Amino acid sequence: MSEPMSMPVLYLSHGAPPLADDPVWTSELAAWSASLPTPTAILIVSAHWENAPLTIGATTTVPLVYDFWGFPDRYYDVTYPAPGAPGLAAKVRALLGPSVHDDPGRGLDHGAYVPLVEMYPDADVPVLQVSMPSLDPAELLEVGRKLAPLRDEGVLIVGSGFFTHNLSAIRMTDPGVTPPSWSAEFDDWGARALAERDLDALLDFPRKSPSGPLAHPRTEHFAPLFVALGASLSTENTARSVIDGYWYGLSKRSVQFT
């Protein structure tokens, strides 16, 4: 049996439940996963779970967390019975230390399962979700750095957020609407900062980016990027945008670190 190969690290914009109705975006996610080595497991950090200290979710298959309101019933009928990953959970504890907590009843939230349904529709890869213990970029960078050895065991580390995220400043009426200036400016800045590996600017993005407070009035959807960045620091940290464009004016930029 061959040894697992070192996996890339992903930051993806996860959309919302209606992502399933977008044939372009869903095909982009499916093509992305098809281009990757088959992971031994997936470790995912979602914008929708903040808990300190860092907490490990269910290591058995439990019901999903439908953490959204006001959508048609069909979005609440989605299931994703991926296998649990108790072995991966034990490795996370070993890498992060004794402060790690467990929440065995906490299933995958929509930041995790919505993109995974499109990327790994057979739900045959073990998945483990962990919380963000903070929104501090430097702290999350360190979490990612500590988790980086898992890449050599074939684990796909995924930060799941949204490259721009200000729902109060958009109207959910036309997915193809021209993006507002704050979204386009931040997207352009972020793409360049990642390509240039400008870690200092990224860590201080609320002040060093154009329209940062408008693009992220609360930073939880950009924060998973720093876990992905941290997990890629041991390599050349080359960032490649795999998905770009906009959805209801929000940047759906998604990045692969190798």
Given this model, what pLDDT does residue 2 score? 59
Given this model, what pLDDT does residue 234 score? 76
SS3 116: helix
Mean pLDDT of the residues in the chain: 96
**CA–CA distance, 79 with 60 (Å, rounded to integer):** 14
pLDDT digits (tens, 9 = 90+) for 36-48: 999 999 999 999 9
Q: Which band of pLDDT confidence, cut at 50, 70 and 90, is reported for residue 5?
A: confident
- Model confidence at 30: pLDDT above 70: yes
**CA–CA distance, 148 with 170 (Å, rounded to integer):** 36
Q: Which band of pLDDT confidence, cut at 50, 70 and 90, is reported for residue 122?
A: very high
Kindly state the tokens that stand for 161.
Answer: 């957020």
**CA–CA distance, 258 with 256 (Å, rounded to integer):** 7
Counting Cβ atoms within 10 Å, is residue 136 exposed (0-12), middle (13-18) or buried (19+)? middle
Tokens 């945008």 -> residue: 241
pLDDT digits (tens, 9 = 90+) for 82-108: 999 999 999 999 999 999 999 999 999
Pairing of the two strands 155-161 and 9-13: parallel
230 half-sphere exposure, CB direction, 13 A CA radius: 21
SS3 200: helix
DSSP state of 224: H
SS3 257: strand
Closest CA to 14 of 226, 230, 222, 170: 222
Burial 229-253 (b: 16+ CB within 10 A, else e): bbbbbeeebebebbbeebbbbbbbb
Given this model, what pLDDT does residue 144 score? 98
Tokens 């069909």 -> residue: 74
Given this model, what pLDDT does residue 238 score? 85
**CA–CA distance, 143 with 132 (Å, rounded to integer):** 9
Domains of the chain are 9-257 (3.40.830.10)
Q: Which band of pLDDT confidence, cut at 50, 70 and 90, is reported for residue 8?
A: very high
Closest CA to 168 of 216, 122, 201: 216
168 Rama sector, left if φ>0, alpha if ψ -120 to 50, beta otherwise:
alpha
Given this model, what pLDDT does residue 3 score? 66
**Whole-structure pTM over 0.95, yes or no?**
yes
What's phi and psi for 135, nearest 5 deg? -100, 5
